[in-house]
Structure 1
Amino acid sequence: MSNPLSLGYSPCPNDTFIFYALVHGKLAGAPKVRERLEDVETLNQLARRGALDLTKISYHALGHLRHEYALLRSGGALGRGCGPLLVSSRPCDIEELRTTCIAIPGELTTANLLLQLHGEGFSRTRAMPFDRIMPAVAAGEFAAGVIIHESRFTYRQHGLHQVLDLGQWWELETGCPIPLGGILARRSLGAGLIGRIDAALKASVDYAFAHPDEPRAYIREHARELDDEVTDSHIQLYVNAFSRDLGDEGIAAVEQLFSRAEARGLIPPCDLPLFVSAG
């Protein structure tokens, strides 16, 4: 393919760590890509408009896009102990928040989907960029907010209190790891090219693990949190064996999320397979 593929991902350390080798031409024979770095909800909306060939996506968004995009096995964010947190400006019980307005990092984020799957859900939410949620809650603009990414390491610095660890709730409820975000490819790219892309993503993850210091300048260039300790903690939490390959356990977690969301009417049903098979 002569033209590079458009590839969207976030400026968060886990993504810049994973994609460093691919976008910097470190992998022989890998498809050429042109990166676009945006926050996760912007990527969700771009995918909804079909604006990207490849993209990091919230699994919630994938639930709405399964007819146009297929899931890749490598490059995503899925694990244990890494879910979104519901935080407030004062200690409170979750039931106190059912009728208040809660800040969320986007309508199509998995964070919002997990929030809506908890109990009867939450009827009043307001979407805003994830990095604005903690200051807004601390300032009293919202009673609570759902925080993601590196915010889970820094919310106490804003004087905030954890009300609920949505990831921990999910793990206890289902026994599955938390499917936060995956990598999608347009189904129209075809099985052959999609297979090459998936192999290149796995190789990019392997390269980052083998050369952990090499991507550091690129990560620091884009990180919203410049503290190296926070950056390293972020990568250690969100980049793991599931980032190399979802495997049976990861796939089961995604299917469990979609099954529960479909049953609640939060995403539409889809009869297409998650993956495009070369066979």
Structure 2
Amino acid sequence: MRIAFSPCPNDTFVFHAWVHGRIPGAPPLDVTYADIDVTNSLALQPDGPEVLKVSYAALPWMLKEYALLPCGGALGRGCGPLVLTRDGSSDPAFLAGKRVAVPSDRSTAYLLFRLWAARHVPNGVGEIVVMPFDRIMAAVRDGEIDAGLVIHEARFTYPAYGLTLLADMGAWWELDTGLPIPLGAIVARRSLDRKALAEWIRASVRHAWKNPEDSRPYVLQHAQEMDPQVADAHIKLYVNEYTEDLGQEGRNAVRALLNRAAEEGLVPRVPEEWLTELS
């Protein structure tokens, strides 16, 4: 079975047991490791993988062919994208007319940023530059861009680049909605047995929690030069109860994000029957 997910610690931690054949009854996996911007586009290809990690913000473009699985993704609290600058500004008005780098134009991070900026940045930001998430902090530090929207381990490492926090998109979302932040989702082709897939993913998550050291070499191999302590913090933040099962609160968060974005004209409206699948 072909699957695509990022090389980030939370994804490799979640799927380690399945990738390494430790889930009874689960088929072998042919893994593509790719940034979220790439996996979002893979879901739009006729021959895309059977299972993918994608952004929740990209779901409206793919739910005809793929269905959301209730586990394996990244959703939580205190884990939202950050807007960083190098000048120490904490005033959202600083972004007016500025160049801002984002990790994908169909990422949840960017969608949250657009919803936030519509309320907080007079006259709007200037140019949006899409670049791989692991290049953004250096681009801000070096003055290539004015501000960067960062995700993943950047939450822990941005001070080392001499950058400062202008706004936390997750904190804003949680205060505004009272809901957790839907970041990354696991989707599967509608032709597959999604119940079985969910059970295999849950078994892989539970194996990782029960045997955390078992996955460490695999996690650090794909995290490249990431400090092991940063990798551990990354996993602790992004792999949580919603990873094992979205639950009703998680489903409400997905509905809130997609419906609010559709009302603002930022994404196509998702047909009600596809939202009903989440219940």
The TM-score with structure 1 as length reference comes to 0.93
What residue identity is the alignment partner of 1:222?
A: H
1:147 is aligned to: 150
**Are 2:43 and 1:18 aligned?**
no
Aligned-residue sequence identity (percent) comes to: 46
Over 3 Å counting, the alpha-carbon distance change for 1:104 and 1:176 in structure 2 is: same
- For residue 63 of structure 1, the aligned residue among 55, 60, 73 is 60
Alignment of 1:188-207 (within 5 A): 188-189=191-192, 193-207=193-207
**Are 2:73 and 1:73 aligned?**
no
Contact 1:71 1:275 in 2 (8 A): no
Over 3 Å counting, the alpha-carbon distance change for 1:98 and 1:111 in structure 2 is: same
Contact 1:177 1:253 in 2 (8 A): yes
Contact 2:75 2:183 in 1 (8 A): yes
Contact 2:72 2:244 in 1 (8 A): yes
Over 3 Å counting, the alpha-carbon distance change for 1:166 and 1:254 in structure 2 is: same
Query: What RMSD, in angstroms, separates the aligned Cα atoms of the two structures?
Result: 1.4
Alignment of 1:103-142 (within 5 A): 103-120=101-118, 122=125, 124-142=127-145
1:209-235 Cα shifts (integer Å, max 9, x gaps) = 000000000001100443111010000
Contact 1:225 1:231 in 2 (8 A): no
2:50 is aligned to: 53
Aligned-pair distance for 1:274?
4.3
Aligned-pair distance for 1:33?
2.1
Q: 1 CA distance for matches of 2:144 and 2:235?
A: 31
What residue identity is the alignment partner of 1:186?
A: R
Aligned-pair distance for 1:118?
0.8
1:86 is aligned to: 83
Aligned-pair distance for 1:21?
0.6
The number of aligned residues is: 270
Structure 1 stretch displaced more, 117-126 or 143-152: 117-126
Aligned-pair distance for 1:176?
0.3
Contact 1:150 1:225 in 2 (8 A): no
The TM-score with structure 2 as length reference comes to 0.93
Contact 1:70 1:274 in 2 (8 A): no
1:170 is aligned to: 173
Aligned with 1:48: secondary structure?
coil
Contact 1:31 1:197 in 2 (8 A): no
1:149-173 Cα shifts (integer Å, max 9, x gaps) = 0011000000001000000000001
Over 3 Å counting, the alpha-carbon distance change for 1:265 and 1:119 in structure 2 is: same
Contact 1:7 1:35 in 2 (8 A): yes
Structure 1 stretch displaced more, 217-226 or 152-161: 217-226
Over 3 Å counting, the alpha-carbon distance change for 1:81 and 1:172 in structure 2 is: same
Q: 2 CA distance for matches of 1:8 and 1:159?
A: 33
Contact 1:72 1:275 in 2 (8 A): no
What residue identity is the alignment partner of 1:183?
A: I
Alignment of 1:3-42 (within 5 A): 5-42=1-38
**Are 2:219 and 1:216 aligned?**
no
What residue identity is the alignment partner of 2:185?
A: G
Alignment of 1:262-273 (within 5 A): 262-271=262-271, 272-273=273-274
Aligned with 2:269: secondary structure?
coil
Contact 2:258 2:270 in 1 (8 A): no
Aligned with 2:14: secondary structure?
helix
What residue identity is the alignment partner of 1:197?
A: L
What residue identity is the alignment partner of 1:230?
A: V
Aligned-pair distance for 1:123?
5.2
